[in-house]
Amino acid sequence: MRSVAVVVQPGFAPFEFGLACEAFGLDRSDDGIPNFDFRIVSPDPGVVPSNIGFSINVEHGLDAADDVDILVLAPIPRAQWEDVDERVIDLVRRADARDAWLLSVCSGSFVLAAAGVLDGRRATTHWRYAHTMARMYPEIEVDPDVLYVQSGNIITSAGTAAGLDACLHLLRQELGAELANRIARRMVVAPQRDGGQAQFIAAPIPVDTSLSLAPVTEWMMQNLHADLSVERLAARAHMSPRTFARRFKADFGATPAAWLARQRLLHAQRLLEETDLGLDRIASECGFGSAAVLRQNFARTMGLTPTAYRARFSCSDDVVAPPREAVPA
C-alpha cells in the first residue's frame, strides 16, 4: 500500500487541503481502486486553524511522514513565505533525499523553494505569486502559465483547482491511466484539462505606476498595434537601448519584448471575450500582424487556440468594440 502524508500548518487553505484528501484519502476499493495509507501531519499536532475561521484537529506530528511515498504540501499564508518552519523544511529535504514524491498545491511551492529542492528546476505556483517566487528564488525557473509542472520526483501546481490536476497527474503515474480516469469520473472532473493557467490570468505582470518607466509602459499599452522596438521605447524614455532594457528588466521582472508579448496576448484575450471581431482584426489590433501569428502565439502560451478560448470565455453580446485610438508617438 502506498503511503501519503499531507502537511498542514496554521493558516492553511481548506479547499486546497481538501483536494489532497479527496485525491488520496477516500476509500474507493468498491470501484477496484487501491487505497492509500493516508495521513495528515502538522509540525505541532493538535488544533490547527485554517485561514477562514475554523480549525481541524491533527493527530500526527511530522515524524509520521518520515517514511511516506508521497508528501503533499498544502498552501501556506503569505506571512510564512519568508519564514518557513525549519521542521517542515527538514522533512522535505529528507523526503527528497529518499526520492519520495513531493507535491505542492498553490503556495505550498514556497515550502519546496525554501528547502532548496527546486533549485535548478522548473516549477509553478499561482500566477499571482509567480513574480514573487521568481524574485525570492532566482535559481528556480518559475513558469506562471501552466497548471502544474513535474520535474523529476517533484510536482508543483498552480492555484486552487490546479492542485487537483496535479494530484490526478501523479495518480496516473502511480496507478495507471485507467484507474486515474476512474477516480476522475468519481470526482466528476475531467481526467486532464486542456490549456494552462495562463488563460485565467487577468494581469500577468503587475504594473507599478510609481516606477519611472510607467509612462512608457502606459504608452505601450495604448499602442500595442505599433512596432514597439527597444530602440523606439528607449528614445521615448530618453535612455540608450541597453540602459532601457536593463532598467526595464530590473523594474518589471521581464524583458521589454516578453512584457509586450504578454500584454498583447492579454489584450487579445479581452477582445476574444468581449467582442465578435474576427481573428485578422484582433491580430491587427494587438500587434500580431496576421491571424496565423496570433494563433501561433496564443496557442503556445495559453495551451488552446483563440477560437477555443472564445468559445469558453466569451461574454460578447454581439457588440463589436471600436478600434483602440492610438496615442501619437
Q: Higher pLDDT residue, 19 or 173?
A: 19
Q: What is the mean pLDDT of residues 260-279?
A: 88
Supply the pLDDT for residue 200.
56
Q: Which CATH class is domain 3-197?
A: alpha beta
Nearest to 84 by CA among 45, 43, 119, 48: 43
Q: How far apart are CA 108 and CA 106, in angstroms?
A: 5
Q: What is the pLDDT of residues 22-47, one digit of tens each?
A: 999 999 999 999 999 999 999 999 99
Give residue-wise pLDDT tens across range 66-82.
Answer: 999 999 999 999 999 99
- Residue scoring higher pLDDT (266 or 154): 154
- Do residues 157 and 104 touch, judged by C-beta distance below 8 A? yes
Q: Range(s) for CATH 1.10.10.60 in the chain?
A: 214-313
pLDDT in tens, 109-150: 999 999 999 999 999 999 899 999 999 999 999 998 888 999
Give me the architecture of the 214-313 domain, per CATH: Orthogonal Bundle (1.10)
Per-residue pLDDT of 158-190, as tens digits, reads: 988 899 999 998 998 888 878 888 898 888 876
pLDDT of res. 144: 87
pLDDT in tens, 276-315: 999 999 999 999 999 999 999 888 877 788 998 888 777 6
pLDDT recorded at residue 176: 84
207: helix, strand or coil:
coil
Task: Report the phi/psi class of residue 152: left, alpha or beta, with left for phi > 0 and alpha for psi in -120 to 50.
Answer: left
Which residues, in sequence order, are CB contacts of 148 under 8 Å at separation 6+? Answer: 124, 155, 156, 157, 158, 162, 165, 166, 169
Let me know: does 280 contact 291? Beta carbons within 8 Å: yes
- In eight-state DSSP terms, residue 325 is P
Q: Any long-range contacts for 23-30 (C-beta under 8 Å, 24+ apart)?
A: 23/164, 23/167, 23/168, 23/171, 23/183, 24/70, 24/72, 24/167, 28/182, 28/183, 28/186
Predicted confidence band of residue 195 (pLDDT cuts 50, 70, 90) = low
Percentage of the chain lying above the pLDDT 70 cut: 88
In the chain, ranges of CATH 3.40.50.880 domains: 3-197
Q: 104 with 155: CB under 8 angstroms?
A: yes
Q: 249, 135 in Cβ contact below 8 A?
A: no
pLDDT band at 54 (very low <50, low <70, confident <90, very high): very high
Listed in sequence order, the residues at least 6 apart from 82 whose beta carbon sits closer than 8 Å to its beta carbon are 136
